[in-house]
Amino acid sequence: MEEILTQIALCIERGKINLESPYPPDMKGQPGADELTKQAIEQEIAPGKILSDALVPGMQVVGEKFAKGEVYIPDLLMSAKAMNASMEHLKPFFESGEVKTRGVFIIGTVQGDLHDIGKNLVGMVVKGGGWEVIDLGVDVSTEKFIGALDQNPGAAVGLSALLTTTMPNMENIVKSIKEKYPDTKVIIGGAPINESYAEKIGADAYYPDPQGAVNFLNSTV
């Protein structure tokens, strides 16, 4: 792996946002995720590679440490901030799709769940794939999804969940959407989700990554 990608992954893992950030103290005065991502783009490393070989592995490490009790919530938050700083640089590449939209895609993280990094990425990539994206944010209720569909008939819907405790909320949302708008295509995703869960709750598709979601959406038009 390019050295710079290893450095970015470390910044994500340690929550080093940028040069000015005094956190973590042992990395004070060093460039952070912000500057290094900009440099990686200048070195013409593909944005998709920066995402898959630096940002995602960095988050993976901090997630594993958190699971083992080696780091705590503030550490996760700093990692999320560092990842967002990187994503600001990647955003224009993921979003530079066709101007004419293929359709409308409503996306949100389900009720009770505040994780938005994966959902934001999916939104960016789908937008880059030529879709108009309506991002309902996090902690989104069934009513809010239905309300957005009322205003955008024919839109497809994407649900994201990162917690095993919020996965069941997907089922209620999918059921309510299908009751009112049976033809609506619903895609689900997020770390604890899999294909058999999608089948079980009546979602049309599960994808582990944003590109799968775009390919599926494109196949529906």
Nearer to ligand B1M, 42 or 200 (CB): 200
CB of 45 to ligand B1M, least distance (A): 18
Q: Could you give the CA distance from residue 101 to residue 118 in angstroms, rounded to a whole number?
A: 22
Residue 163 interacting with ligand B1M (CB under 6 A):
yes
Residue 67 interacting with ligand B1M (CB under 6 A):
yes
Nearer to ligand B1M, 40 or 198 (CB): 198
Residue 62 interacting with ligand B1M (CB under 6 A):
yes
Residue 104 interacting with ligand B1M (CB under 6 A):
no
Pull the structure tokens for residue 79: 């990692």
Pull the structure tokens for residue 47: 């944005």
DSSP notation for 108-131: EEBTT----HHHHHHHHHHHHTT-
- Nearest residue to 145 via CA among 128, 129, 154, 158: 158
Residue of 24, 63, 97, 130 interacting with ligand B1M (CB under 6 A): 63
Residue 15 interacting with ligand B1M (CB under 6 A):
no
Nearer to ligand B1M, 92 or 168 (CB): 168
Helical pair 142-151 and 167-180, crossing angle rounded to 10 deg = 40
Residue 170 interacting with ligand B1M (CB under 6 A):
no
CA 55-59-62 angle, to 5 degrees, is 145
Residues 20-59 interacting with ligand B1M (rule: CB under 6 A): 56, 59
